[in-house]
Amino acid sequence: MTSKTLFIFLCALAGFSSIFAKKPNVLLIMSDDMGYSDLGCFGGEIRTPHIDSLAQGGVRFTNFYSENMCSVSRASLLTGVYHRTSHKNGALHPRCLTLPKALQAKGYATGIMGKWHLAGKYQENGGSRAVYPDQRGFDRFYGILGGANSFFAPFGLRRNRKPIDEEFMKDPDYYFTDAIGKEAIAFLEATPEDKPFFLYLPFTAAHWPLHAPAHEIEKYKGKFSAGWDELRRERLKRMKELGVIDPSVKLSPRHPNVPAWKDESNKAWQERRMEVYAAQVTIMDRVIGQVLDHLRKSGNLDDTLTFFTIDNGGCHVEYGANRKGDYLPEKTRDGRPMKPGNLTELMPGPEITYQSYGYGWANLSNTPYRLFKQYDHEGGIHTPMIAHWPNGIKGKGTTRSTLSHLVDLMPTILEATGVKPSEKASGAKRIAWDGRSILPSLLGKKQPDPAVLFFNHARGKAIRTGNWKMVFNKDGKKKAKWELYDLAKDPNELNDLATEHPGKVQELSKLWNAREKSQLARAAK
């Protein structure tokens, strides 16, 4: 018997359920408001070499789903429970066991650097309190509690619970994405060599505002001059060549709010919007590369299970000049008044601006799908996922079509680490997972699809079972109704079959209603 075999045998006797000789470290990376096709390894023209390297050394999941907005996706990710149960008062339900809490209890060092967006406000004894990451299992936190902020001056910045706005006030070169990387490496350096770690990196890139250093924006000068129509066609061609979409898929129509590129009257401003967006993504990719390089040099990369995913599809929102919110600073660091809004006379990028990239470029990001963040059509929830684990994953550089969802990542990680979850959370029986482990798929084994995927938030609600998907647009502009699609034949939801298959609509409607009732009942307890 070899020493490795003996170790595995002894671990089994001790109740260590992992099939691996060593508990892997876990690196969980989430980008913000990006589309299915933005990454280079998913067909985009944006430079993402380090994320692409994860795909080359790991696997890409091409049939993966998020929720349709930022905070609720994070609730599903960190609990394995759909947000209709796990997302309560803007925070995590007390009876949901969190991934960091489960790993922390088994000796993992746990850190989050970036966007929490689960602070909520719980009412207690006539007052209210924010919920901090340390209350849900994280040893160390650097970042923001809310959903968006300036990249140059993210007010409300905290290290653990301590406000540290003075750090960006004193640093003229401060950029939030870069700071996330520095703090992540500091966390890794502080973790003892004999202690496994769980590092969660929820970046704010590429969420608005469009902020990036001028020299980074300049690298993309002219890159998007062909416009969104031609670039969508080019992306689709590359996606087919890369195998991340079926060769038969056609491009969805341009959104009605988007003019043909040839008719766009503000081309220079429009190009600049996408240049800044691309710069934000590339900076994030560089920072991810720095973290991966540190893991490589420390000898930890091969034993680190890494996931990269996105919280929802590209965001179409046009940032208005009169929009208010706790995410919008009144002044720049040097005291100049902010000029918020998608003002065509003001090029985005500098600290004084606060803009978004809008319908046209979000349409490009979500190629070939239609609609956007906030919707449960494919453009809002169908997102890329990459898994990388040199000592665990089989079939490196390949794709997986396994139907999966954010709620699957917690069960997967706990199975891979051999961590048996506690049956309690906050002193009560924990709410059971909605997700299931996709570890078999990572190991190159065939895995049946889940019976149902369930969605309900913001402007959309949906249910998917097999290739059937029923989706509802809650825009409020017209009387909405259920739409029915066969995603095997119509993956970008162009041919509504609801009138042809009323029995299927009735069947799925009953199933959706039952799931909704069950989710809300669990949350109310």
Catalytic residues: 70, 117
CB of 460 closer than 8 Å to CB of 472: yes
Q: Which residue has the tokens 């500091």?
A: 186
CB of 353 closer than 8 Å to CB of 210: yes
Written as one letter, the residue type at 338 is M
Examine residue 448 and say whether the peptide bond preceding it is cis (omega within 30 degrees of 0). Answer: no
Distance CA 392, CA 442 (A): 8
Contacts 24+ apart (CB under 8 A), 443-449: 443/392, 443/393, 443/394, 444/393, 444/394, 444/395, 447/402, 449/402, 449/403
| Residue 349, burial from CB neighbour count under 10 angstroms (0-12, 13-18, 19+) | buried
* Strand, helix or coil for residue 159: strand
Pinpoint the alpha helices (H) of 248-341. Answer: 267-297
Distance CA 510, CA 413 (A): 32
Phi, psi dihedral angles at 412 (to 5 degrees): -65, -45
Question: What b/e string do you get for 101-134 counting C-beta neighbours within 10 Å, with b at 16 or more?
Answer: bbbbebebbbbbbbbbbbbbeeeeeeeeebbbbe
Distances (CA, A) of 440 to 19, 303, 448, 449, 524: 11, 18, 10, 12, 34
- Concatenating the DSSP letter of every residue in 67-84 gives -SSHHHHHHHHHHSS-HH
Contact partners, residue 125, CB within 8 Å, separation at least 6: none
* Strand, helix or coil for residue 520: helix
Q: Which of 453, 473, 468, 465 is nearest to 377 (CA)?
A: 473
Cβ atoms < 10 Å from Cβ of 258: 20
Give the CA angle between residues 508, 513, 516 to the nearest 5°.
Answer: 125
